[in-house]
Amino acid sequence: MILIIGGAYQGKLAYVMENHPNKKMFQCDIENAEMDLSADIINSIHLMVLAQIRAGIDTLSYLHGKLPQIKGKIIICDDISCGVVPIDSETRMWRETVGRCLALISKNADEVIRVFCGIGSIIK
């Protein structure tokens, strides 16, 4: 598994598509609390986390159960941990949950790459 992280609009998806062409991609969104595990690339997992929070799903347990199925996948996630701590509780919970999920995924990943300004830096 490869985890790609970085800020919003830093070129994470372009980096992945350039380095891993012809892969099937699934785009997460805030309306869908599930991933399409038939895809090779799972993009914007942070949006799925928000959908799961709104649906009352324990995302850490969900991801822990999916670890065997996401081995070999490329996971892309915005790093939403920087900046001012949000005032509203849902956004604070989202930020905390994404951080905990990234810790779980990175611990189990073969590679972790941070993309900044379109340049990937291997951190694991």
**Which CATH number covers residue 24?**
3.40.50.300
75-118 pLDDT, tens digit per residue, is: 999 999 887 888 899 999 999 999 999 999 999 999 999 999 99
pTM over 0.85: yes
Question: For residue 75, what pLDDT is reported?
Answer: 98
| Residues β-bridged to residue 116 | 119
15-69 pLDDT, tens digit per residue, is: 999 999 999 999 999 999 999 999 999 999 999 999 999 999 999 999 999 999 9
Structural domain of residue 29, as residue ranges? 2-122
Residue 123 pLDDT exceeds 90 = yes
End-to-end distance of the chain based on CA atoms, in angstroms?
Answer: 11
| Number of independent structural domains in the chain | 1
DSSP string, 11-80: SHHHHHHHHSTT--EEE--TT--S--TTSSEEE-HHHHHHHHHHHT--HHHHHHHHHHHHTT-EEEEE--
